[in-house]
Amino acid sequence: MSWMLQELHRLIPGCERYVPDEFQLTADHLTKAFIDAGYRVDYHPIADGDWDLFKPTADDLEILETVCPAETSNAEDVWIYSAACWREPREPFRTNASELRGFVEAYDYGMLFDSDTILLFVESKIVSLVHHEGYWARVRIQVQC
**pLDDT per position as a tens digit, 83-120:** 999 888 899 999 999 899 999 999 999 889 989 999 99
Evaluate if residue 75 carries a pLDDT over 90.
Answer: no
Evaluate if residue 55 carries a pLDDT over 90.
Answer: no
- pTM here is 0.92
In terms of DSSP H, where are the helices of 1-144? 3-11, 15-18, 27-36, 51-54, 60-67, 83-87, 100-106
Which of the four pLDDT bands, split at 50, 70 and 90, describes residue 30? very high
Evaluate if residue 27 carries a pLDDT over 80.
Answer: yes
Residue 45, helix vs strand vs coil: strand
Domain ranges of the chain: 3-140
Q: Check if the beta carbon of residue 82 is closer than 8 Å to that of residue 115.
A: yes
